[in-house]
Amino acid sequence: MNVPVLLIPENFIDRDARSDRLVATAVFALLAVASLLPTLLTPIPAMVDYLNHLARMYLLSQMNTINANPYYEAGWAFYPNLAMDLVVPPMARLIGAESATRLFFLFSQLLIISGALALEWVVKRRVHLAGFAALLFLYCLPFTWGFVNFECALGIALWGIAAYLFAAEQPTPVRFVVNTAFVVVLFTAHFFSLGIYGATLGFYESWRTFNRKLPYRDAALRLVTLAIPALALLVVMRLTAGSVGREGTFWYFDYKLLWPFYIMSGYSMAVSGASALVLMAALYVAARCGMLKLQPAGIWVATGFALLYLTIPPRLFGTAFADIRVLPAAALILPAFCSLSLPNRRWTMAALAIVGSITLANLAVVLVVWQSYRADYSAFIHSFQKIDRGSKILIGTSGEGDDPPFKDLTQYPMYYAPTLAVHYANAFVPNVFTEAGKQPVQARTEVRRLAIPYGGPVPIRLLSAIAAGQMTASDDADFIRTWYRDYDYLYLLGTGVVNPLPNMLKELDRSGRFVLYKIRRAP
């Protein structure tokens, strides 16, 4: 008896599998569109470092024009941290710095998503998990704190890893050309992302050598081929007076065990912790039941990332939070080496529900925070009109100036908002990112002693004590030693602020999160 093709059990299974794939694809597409909405709808994303980067983009785009800020000058050198500094200013001259910077950030997000998909396709010849992982971590802590160059370069690194693995079995010249092209781009964009790229390929090549029992000579040749372009660029950088940030590498273990629980969100430790626990529990159940498996190459890469995270110092070459950047990199790369086989539709829907819930919960926090800051940033821009052009501005806080403010991370995006005065009032703000070895902008000689390229707002408690002669600033805080004579205005961040020095400070403007004071300069 002939059974209709549609009634064969295998065909029911195939149809169910195709249906599940269509549902997963639709869910991914909807989540991807939703994940990009905050960037598309918000003129200035509420990310702490983003405001400072935007201020620098204004400075660079106006260099050598009649609108150039008198307190800053260009200081170009072969720095390995120039992604947006090279791309955004030319665009800013056409569409404005605010739009150009936001477009760069959107492009970085697209690089993260597409790079994760490309890497998974190269490894598996299909896309399955990496896209969802990219959406889960699209607003993770390093990205929502405004590490924009790192995010862009990490997206490029994902594409670079995919390209190298695609050419892994090609002749040496082909691999060398592919590797060199991405090393040059990554070296220029962000040095740490180059390290992620090199480490991943090093772990992969180590597995390949072990798995195929290759002669040590062949393995060494492949590793040398990987390293030559980066070493050559380091030599060129040294010969051209470039550098990798400033000196300063500190290692401490205090938060190593906590960061995996706080990495999911840059605004809410509660949401981040809950998301991480749910995700870890789901992964544990899937692995314990044999549904989630890591390929042999993935085991080597995962082990390498774990060791890298444990050994890398939190501050590397003056760059803070270096170790936590390993976590999103691992989360974006490892899914390419994982396989997930769910037994039936119920499991598939449960998995999609978990991923969707975590993504949407984090996205809701981002939308609430970003939208709440629109009025505050508009108030800041309006307040700049009350500042005399060419003034010097100090940033203070009614709190203790914790950096970051873990008690309330939603206050963090306010820290560098006053730096936009470098554009709107041609002012000097000491906190603008002007660190040699990272940014191609420097404070001019006459104000350089006041510049603190990586400092946060100063507690008003400290400023009041200095003004009253009750204490003096430490050697590393020379910029506030005589603040009452050096600066013209004070932005005091915080809510419900009362004038702490009525004889010295005159209130000019007030908003929900800041007060602008005119400093009555002491002789």
Tell me whether the omega of the peptide bond preceding residue 404 falls within 30 degrees of 0, making it cis. yes
Phi-psi map region of 313: left, alpha, beta (phi>0 left; psi -120 to 50 alpha): beta
Res 214: pLDDT: 83
Residue 328 confidence (pLDDT):
97
The backbone torsions φ and ψ at residue 322, rounded to the nearest 5 degrees and listed phi first, read -70, -40
Question: What pLDDT, on a 0 to 100 scale, did the predictor assign at position 9?
Answer: 47
Kindly state the tokens that stand for 93.
């001259």
Give the domain ranges of the chain.
Answer: 76-341, 372-519
Measured distance CA(368)–CA(139) in Å, rounded: 13
- Rounded Cα–Cα distance for residues 492 and 460 (Å): 8
Say what the pLDDT of residue 241 is: 59
Q: What's the pLDDT score for residue 473?
A: 64
Output the pLDDT for position 474.
Answer: 67
**Cα gap 446→301, rounded to integer Å:** 50
Task: Give the list of residues 6+ apart from residue 269 with CB closer than 8 angstroms, or none.
Answer: 262, 406, 409
How high is the pLDDT of residue 157?
Answer: 98
Burial of residue 65, with CB atoms counted within 10 A of its CB: 0-12 exposed, 13-18 middle, 19 or more buried: exposed
Which own/partner pairs from 401-410 qualify as long-range (CB within 8 Å, at least 24 positions apart)?
401/456, 401/457, 401/458, 401/459, 403/456, 404/48, 404/145, 406/269, 409/266, 409/267, 409/268, 409/269, 410/267, 410/268, 410/369, 410/372
Please choose, from the candidates 463, 523, 457, the residue with its C-alpha nearest in 3D space to the C-alpha of residue 494.
457
Partnered with residue 397 across adjacent β-strands are 459, 493
| Dist CA 109 CA 39 (whole Å) | 9
Q: Which residues does 360 contact at the CB level (< 8 Å), separation at least 6?
A: 31, 34
Low-confidence ranges of the chain (pLDDT < 50): 1, 3-13
Specify the DSSP class assigned to residue 324: G
Ramachandran angles phi, psi of 509, nearest 5°: -155, 155
pLDDT of residue 384: 97
Which run of H or E residues covers position 509?
strand 505-510
Q: Provide the pLDDT for residue 375.
A: 94
